[in-house]
A and B are shown apart, each in its own frame.
Chain A
């Protein structure tokens, strides 16, 4: 993979790139399909239900059927909606969610773009999602969508700040923004140990970024019916859903890379197990955690959400940066 990336561009390499991209897309779609399936199953079991079990063996084809249904549905666009923006919004949500995955190191060899500023790339692109939400809310010309969209925008912007700040500690320890190097730096001990505070802030802020429980206000069903995508149906809705899950995939990989040691084994003695297995294990743990939260937590209130971001998470992230800075300078002998 790495040699391929460094070759001079030619028709042959372009073809390889295309194939690799399609492979990643296929893996992603499979993930989304079965993430939804497992979400429904896991939450179902937690709530004394069975979950999907009709379509295909054990209900394994349920999501496939659901997506197929969405794709062949009539394309409904509200009469008074803003045509251009209404069409643009799902694409805006969808594209960045996929684009961020290019920089993710899944294992030592499987990485599509080895960027020197991997974290920055991720954060910058994921910021675009806010635009999609606010566009969708505005363009639908529906009061519920508008409130949902505005809430979402406020929430995502507010939580992006602590999210970025919580990563700074990791960057300081590694001295690099390259995601590969960040993983390599965790050979001895995973970042979750020295950066525990940062990890906690990141975990909470990520939840808000993903609009998932307990921060699922934009889609607060009981108040706003479905928030910003209330007017969306058919494949446009499918794109929003897909973007949401792909984004969750992205966040899962990021948290694995930054704090859980990426593809590294839990102990050097277990090195014989391939890195991808470790990666998938850690990643699945995070995804499961998401489902677990969803089955347990009530929703926060919009105004409390904001004060929590600015008054609790941000100070905690800043304290984390300060502590990291002090420890690093102490280790490098600045105080002696």
Chain B
């Protein structure tokens, strides 16, 4: 675990004879701000970070290896546990990959249900981010407000699929459960409610001087760096690159709806904050349209062979998860189990830039920067 961590530098000043030593501080694996079991070894000089080394893998479960021994349907619940804040998009990416390989048709109603579930999940995920980010910065209240509203989404999911976090909702060729009676109206009510709440969030937090001082101009990087580190999602869009797979490589039925891709130019924590807030609003906008056009009847499962055997070959699909691009690579030999399966997890890839961002920063900014990347450790370690 300590392989890549260099020892601290000890210097003795020739004039004063005072011995100075850099301090090696272990942040984590159990630390309130690492959002899970993540360890960050920082070398600090006073309160300035000289070097930061992320240590991860505490939550590694070998999902990809396990998947080689599972049938395609059995893999779906494993994806719930990767990015557990946004399990719907994970469900979707594995189903989407297999469906692409097999060339399956998805019924209209299932497409709508998938889209609504994914967008609700995106809002829930961003709400958790908003709450915990403010918690990291020392404000306790927003966390509870965010969780109150997220709870409403979880209740909706509970009605839809009987689970609050690990949904296991989507199936290859459709979805497992149809929307219960009256569910669509409840989601409509929620969208209206959330629109009001967002305004309150902005009133409570966005204008706060202390908050702005803590995140403006912090953790800056430019578009080239973002591309070099292959960042995606808000991390990429905050540098001015307008790239959202929902628009640029439409999947599901995103091409039918009208929405913006919020983009900033500064590439700092404040831009990322703004973008995530704007994304909630855009998701609400998509939901509004989707709920309006929701088909009144129809199947929720397409015609799928009893045993799912994608043809031999390989495929890679990617979609826009709340944290960035989540991709799924499947190499099949025509059997009912994948020969090799690989997830491109946005949290893991986005985290790579952390040591670069932390170098030379104040230790108090460490929390603001780490929080703004928005990682989920279940997904980083997979």
Which A residues form the contact surface with B (CB < 8 A)? 43, 46-49, 143-144, 147, 151, 213-214, 216-217, 220-223, 225, 294-304
Contacts and interface: CB of A to CB of B under 8 A. Distances in A.
A275 to B, nearest CB: 36
Contact of A48 (B144, B210, B367): B144
Given A48-B145, A304-B213, A298 B137 contact: yes
B23 A214 contact: no
A220 B134 CA distance: 13
Given A295-B141, A297-B210, A299-B139, 15 more contacts: A47-B141, A48-B145, A214-B138, A221-B138, A223-B367, A225-B31, A297-B138, A298-B134, A298-B138, A298-B214, A299-B137, A299-B210, A301-B213, A301-B214, A301-B362
Contact of B33 (A151, A213, A223): A223
A213 B365 CA distance: 18
Nearest to A46: B141
Contacts of B31: 225
B135 A222 contact: yes
Contact of B363 (A46, A147, A295): A147
Contacts of B32: 221-222, 225
B314 interface: no
A224 to B, nearest CB: 9
Contact of B47 (A294, A300, A302): A302
Nearest to B136: A222
A304 B33 CA distance: 21
Contacts of A216: 138
- Give the 4 A-B CB pairs with smallest separation, nearest first: A299-B138, A298-B139, A47-B144, A222-B33
B364 A223 contact: yes
Nearest to B362: A303
A296 B144 CA distance: 12
Contacts of A220: 138, 364
A321 B150 CA distance: 51
B139 A301 contact: no
A105 to B, nearest CB: 35
B365 A301 contact: yes
Best-buried of A143, A220, A294 by chain B (most CB within 10 Å): A220
B210 A298 contact: yes
Nearest to A151: B47
A146 to B, nearest CB: 8
Max chain B CB contacts within 10 Å: which of A46, A147, A298? A298
Contacts of A48: 144-145, 148
Given A301-B364, A303-B362, A304-B213, A294 B33 contact: no
Given A214-B210, A297-B208, A298-B211, A222 B144 contact: no
Nearest to B205: A298
Interface in B61-116: none
A303 B368 CA distance: 14
A223 B363 contact: yes
Given A214-B210, A222-B135, A225-B32, A302 B364 contact: yes
Contacts of B366: 223
A76 to B, nearest CB: 18
Contacts of A295: 140-141
A300 B367 contact: no
A281 B362 CA distance: 42
Nearest to B25: A143
Nearest to A217: B364
12 contacts: A147-B363, A222-B136, A223-B33, A225-B31, A295-B141, A296-B141, A296-B204, A298-B208, A299-B138, A300-B210, A304-B213, A304-B214
Contacts of B205: 298
Contacts of A298: 134, 137-139, 205, 208, 210-211, 214
Contacts of A225: 31-32
A272 B8 CA distance: 70
Contacts of B148: 48
Interface string B6-29: 000000000000000001010000
Contacts of B135: 222
A213 B266 CA distance: 29
A157 B268 CA distance: 33
Contacts of B145: 47-48
A246 B329 CA distance: 61
B213 A294 contact: no
Interface string B111-151: 00000000000000000000000111111110011001000
A220 B137 CA distance: 9
A216 B210 CA distance: 13
B140 A294 contact: yes
A297 B211 CA distance: 8
A31 to B, nearest CB: 23
Contact of B139 (A49, A147, A296, A304): A296
Contacts of B213: 300-301, 304
Contact of A213 (B138, B204, B214): B138
Interface in B349-379: 362-367
Contacts of A300: 210, 213-214
Contacts of B23: 143
Contacts of B136: 222
A287 B367 CA distance: 30
Interface in B186-219: 204-205, 208, 210-211, 213-214
Interface in B167-193: none
